């Protein structure tokens, strides 16, 4: 008998059915993958059930029949704790059957991603880190970009699942290299958004119209995603969050999180990145100012206000 493609796909335990994990799991289920879900928050479980996911009562029950255990958690501590089990609970590593692959799609510290993979390996399993970019819109549409850190054979095992949830899947190297790629990209993004915002604030002070600056820079060497897709002023790019009072998009809290992960990686490696560190400081301040839920391009309002404050103080 010829197998259909869905019969060849590994069965998945999906843990963490939040803003990202919920729609990712739903896309797997819609593609015919056998998905068993679990989340600690009852609302996330009900939303996932409505999307056709079989949600079970414990993480161990989810893991028990899985070929691949996917986690989509807020932090590395959540991942490691779930793998090993805390407060007397049986961890995922103790519950999963032989041959399971652990695939963590959360954005976490590189060192924690490597620790999670080592723990899985020590327990006799294979593992990969595969953080994403593309946000909730990409998770829902199945167009996420996956950056994967794994041994080649592990990458090949998880690739069919990632191709269902994503539009682009890049094998970045061994353990932790998916997180490394994600953190490097987002450090560029944070720094470039600050640079574009500073240039608009300076243009305003100089009397240069937003549209005129955009028309020049978008076709010149200052061109970048922060300008041409996520433009921090309303008008030139009608779809950018600046046109909707900085409704995200990509929330400032997540940018601060990713830049803090980059800062940890800078500390651990000794690499110099004064701009990356400054961007982290600015986004931590953005969050402290109550802007955590605004799109990260809203940093322009902080920069603009900071400018006004210093001119008043003169
Ligand atoms: P979220 O808070 O909406 O979802 C995380 C879910 O994990 C929550 O529902 C929480 O209850 C659940 N959870 C925590 N511990 C658990 C456990 N032990 N067992 C089961 N469930 C548990 O967060 P999110 O926005 O979905 O983000 C998830 C990850 O994806 C984060 O690491 C984030 O940095 C990354 N990410 C998010 C975005 C985005 O736009 N939201 C974009 C790219 C990457």
pLDDT for res 8:
81
Sign of CA dihedral 282, 292, 241, 243: negative
- Give the C-alpha distances (Å, rounded to integers) separating 36 from 8, 42, 107, 233: 17, 15, 22, 43
Domain with CATH 1.10.1040.10 in the chain: 181-308
Q: Which two tokens stand for residue 253?
A: 């809290």
CATH 1.10.1740.10 is right for the domain spanning 181-308: no
311 confidence band (pLDDT: 50, 70, 90): very low
pLDDT for res 309:
41
Residue pair 184/258 in contact by the 8 Å Cβ criterion = no
Selected residue with higher pLDDT from 1 and 288: 288
Q: What percent of the chain has pLDDT over 70?
A: 95
CA gap 191, 204 in Å, rounded: 20
CA of residue 119 to ligand 1 center, whole Å: 21
Residue 77 appears among annotated catalytic residues? no
For 170-221, the pLDDT digits (tens) are 999 999 999 999 999 999 999 999 999 999 999 999 999 999 999 999 999 9
Domain with CATH 3.40.50.720 in the chain: 6-175
Q: Which residue among 21, 92, 189 has the greatest number of ligand 1 atoms within 8 angstroms of its CB, and so is best to mutate?
A: 21
Q: Which two tokens stand for residue 26?
A: 């739903």
Looking at the domain that runs over 6-175, which CATH code has it been given? 3.40.50.720
310 confidence band (pLDDT: 50, 70, 90): very low
For 24-35, the pLDDT digits (tens) are 999 999 999 999
Is residue 98 over pLDDT 60? yes
Minimal-distance CA residue to ligand 1 atom 41? 135
For 207-260, the pLDDT digits (tens) are 999 999 999 999 999 999 999 999 999 999 999 999 999 999 899 999 999 999
**pLDDT, average across residues 110-134:** 97
7 confidence band (pLDDT: 50, 70, 90): low
270 confidence band (pLDDT: 50, 70, 90): very high
Which ligand 1 atom is at minimum distance from the Cα of 248? 40
Task: Say which residue the tokens 């720094």 belong to.
Answer: 191
Which ligand 1 atom is at minimum distance from the Cα of 258? 34
Q: What percent of the chain has pLDDT over 90?
A: 93
For 44-92, the pLDDT digits (tens) are 999 999 999 999 999 999 999 999 999 999 999 999 999 999 999 999 9
Q: Which two tokens stand for residue 87?
A: 């407060």
**pLDDT, average across residues 114-134:** 97
CA gap 161, 103 in Å, rounded: 10
Computed over every residue of the chain, the mean pLDDT equals 94
The 10 Å CB-count burial string (b at 16+, else e) for 212-233 is: ebbeebeeeeeebebbbebbbb
pLDDT for res 306:
80
Residue pair 273/262 in contact by the 8 Å Cβ criterion = yes
């Amino acid at each position: 008998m010829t197998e259909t493609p869905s019969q060849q796909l590994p069965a998945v335990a999906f843990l963490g059915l939040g803003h990202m994990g919920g729609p990712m799991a739903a896309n797997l289920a819609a593609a015919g993958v056998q998905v068993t879900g679990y989340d600690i928050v009852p609302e996330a479980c009900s939303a996932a059930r409505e999307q056709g996911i079989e949600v079970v009562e414990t993480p161990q029950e989810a893991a028990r029949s899985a070929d691949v255990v996917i986690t989509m958690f807020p932090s590395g501590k959540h991942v490691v704790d779930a793998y090993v089990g805390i407060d007397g609970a049986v961890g995922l590593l103790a519950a999963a059957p032989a041959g399971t692959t652990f695939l963590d799609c959360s954005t976490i510290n590189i060192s924690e991603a490597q620790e999670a993979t080592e723990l899985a390996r020590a327990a006799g399993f294979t593992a990969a880190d595969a953080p994403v970019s593309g946000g909730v819109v990409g998770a829902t549409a199945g167009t996420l970009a996956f950056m994967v850190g794994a041994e080649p054979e592990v990458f090949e095992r998880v690739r069919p699942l990632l191709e269902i949830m994503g539009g682009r899947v890049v094998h970045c190297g061994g353990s932790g290299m998916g997180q490394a790629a994600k953190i490097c990209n987002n450090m560029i993004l944070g720094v470039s958004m600050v640079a574009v915002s500073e240039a608009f604030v300076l243009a305003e002070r100089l009397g240069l119209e937003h549209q005129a600056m955009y028309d020049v820079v978008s076709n010149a060497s200052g061109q970048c995603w922060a300008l041409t897709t996520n433009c921090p002023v309303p008008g030139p790019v009608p779809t950018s969050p600046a046109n909707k009072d900085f409704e995200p998009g990509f929330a400032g809290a997540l940018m601060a999180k990713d830049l803090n992960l980059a800062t940890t990686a800078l500390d651990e490696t000794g690499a110099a990145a004064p701009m990356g560190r400054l961007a982290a400081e600015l986004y931590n301040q953005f969050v402290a100012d109550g802007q955590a839920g605004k799109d990260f391009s809203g940093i322009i309002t902080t920069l603009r206000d900071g400018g006004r404050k210093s001119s008043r103080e003169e």
